[in-house]
Structure 1
Amino acid sequence: MIPTGGSIANETIEYIEQPSLTWKLDPTKERISGRLDGLESVKQSVSKILQTQRFRHLIYTPNYGAELDKLIGMNPVFVKSEATRMLQEALTQDDRITGVEDVRTTTTGDNLLVEFTVISTYGNLEMSQEVSG
């Protein structure tokens, strides 16, 4: 016999956006100095993702971090398209980030400068990341 009466009602589920409140990291003092929310929180998240090497730290999931260092020494035509893909893949792991646009790359010797625009639910950010070989 199958029990009856314990069914789930077909009600509409309302999703509420959670705050993006996080700790403010001060890299110069190497301290936590308050809290961040909104666009500043997204900016800190982008910086942290890009400074973390993907697959190198067991504390992070395999989806967290960037692999931009692999682009050093490659053909500049290939670097631009691959940098766009790598940035999109790394940054969209954060639910607040919806895309990456206007990716520009500059290669100087063993250094790579990537400049880009982050599209987030809180607004757009102009960011850059330098990678040294």
Structure 2
Amino acid sequence: MIPETDQSLLDERLDEGPLPSLTWKFDLAKGRVVGKTDGLDAIKQAIYKVFQTDRFAYDIYSSDYGHELTLLLGSSPEFVQSEATRMITETLLTDDRIDSVENVRAEMKEDQITIRFTVVTVYGSFEQEVNRNV
């Protein structure tokens, strides 16, 4: 009574669709989950979360999750501006719901960098801003 395997099932290629967008909605002011969110709002929340997480810092996340902006601490302003653009783009393009990152602008003021950019997603586009001490 050994089961037999249909060889055609083993050879069939699986189609990996886009990541699901439905997720829990966080109320950051209250520190609570307040329901569910989907579409563009879910992507905005995912971007917020990814920039709150240092890459490679937590075993629970894959090596593709999180940002590396903390590596810029103590670097020259010129280096910070050029690398921040690359790091922002690499961080966001790991999400297959995001098509591109455009109009990346980095501005240094004393020890803080403000990075503004446009995120183009399958649901539409929006402006985003990230602030970090460097």
* TM-score band w.r.t. shorter chain: 0.7 to 0.9
Gapped regions of structure 1 (runs ≥ 5): 1-5
Q: Which residue of 2 aligns with 1:121?
A: 122
The alignment partner of 1:51 has SS state of coil
Q: Which residue of 2 aligns with 1:55?
A: 56
- Residue pair 1:72, 1:112 contacting (<8 A) in 2 also: no
Q: Which residue of 2 aligns with 1:91?
A: 92
TM-score normalised to the size of structure 2? 0.82
Distance 2:80 2:15 in 1: 43
Instruction: Give the Å deviation of 1:17.
Output: 5.8
**Greater than 2 Å deviation, 4+ residue runs:** 6-11, 13-19, 69-81
- Residue pair 1:99, 1:119 contacting (<8 A) in 2 also: yes
Distance 1:101 1:73 in 2: 26
Change (3 A) 1:69 1:14: closer
The alignment partner of 2:101 has SS state of strand
CA deviation string 1:37-85 (max 9, x = no partner): 1111110011111111111111111110001122244333332321121
The alignment partner of 2:67 has SS state of coil
TM-score normalised to the size of structure 1? 0.83
2:46 partner letter: S
Q: Which residue of 2 aligns with 1:100?
A: 101
1:7-86, aligned counterparts within 5 Å? Answer: 7-8=7-8, 19-86=20-87
Q: Which residue of 2 aligns with 1:3?
A: none
